[in-house]
Structure 1
Amino acid sequence: MNRPPRARTPLFPHLFPTLGRRGWGPVALTVAVAAGGAAGALCREAAQTVWPPEEQGFPWTTLLVNVVGCAAMGALMAALRSRARAPVWAGPLLGTGFLGGFTTFSSYADDIRVLLEEGEPGTAVGYLAATVAAALLAVALAGTVTRRLIGLARDGGRAR
């Protein structure tokens, strides 16, 4: 019995609804995410090479990378959502891939473990709370600023 070919659906249809309609299958999505993730991880490693965490005491590099990555995610998602036809590859490649590879929850968690083992529970709890608060603030602020700048550009520079 011949069955009609099944339509391919993306891995995350609610995030990237146009992938299925444009013929992108799970393999293409995975390649985009993997390529972006590899580039993001290399950039994070470069930041940690330039500013090694073990020389700082407090894990400033990991905090900075995570906050910058969250701000970039807020700006990227606001920019993509503002477009009527954003490139189908942009979210998976740049958001999930690059920024997912650039930011690091595992290093953040390990930094907390190290601070606790070194007898610095106050610093560990402060770092834990500061990272979450700064990351949420960064993504919200960057998204808001990006939406306003796009709105100004569309209005010809006139304030609303």
Structure 2
Amino acid sequence: MWFYSLDCNQPLAVWTARTFFHLPYQNARMSAAEDDGFIDYRCQRRGESSASHFRYCIDAEVQAAEAGTLAFFLAERYLLFSRTARGIRCGQVNHAPYPLAKASLEAWDANPLLQAGFADPQRPPDHIIGSPGVDVAVYPLSA
């Protein structure tokens, strides 16, 4: 997987990820609140004047993605790549299969895309999927 940017509200985690894994972590203020089954999520990077806002709902029913499906391709990544002064590096990622669920999106903005250098798509995302998450281990980078 290639990360264009990663927001995080833990300065030590940002420093560690940037220093040892060369990942594009950014310091940010983040908040999430549940409201009538939806999650209101806000994120404002340090130095940015506006915050991103997303309002979404993740279904309670989860299942692992089947091999060969779009969900499997998007979620089940076991290598990460980063650019260093010495070139592209690769790190192994280990985690249990993600429990995935259908998700719906009520509000979104293009700030994360713009911050990563992409143009505003002027439309909502083509694909939305959610997960309650899994624990992930990342191993040292190699050439």
TM over 0.5: no
Which is richer in helix?
A: 1
Larger Rg: 1 or 2?
1
Q: Under TM normalisation by the shorter chain, which class is it?
A: under 0.3
TM-score (norm 1): 0.22
Which is richer in strand?
A: 2
Q: Which has the higher contact order (CA 8 A, sep 6+)?
A: 1
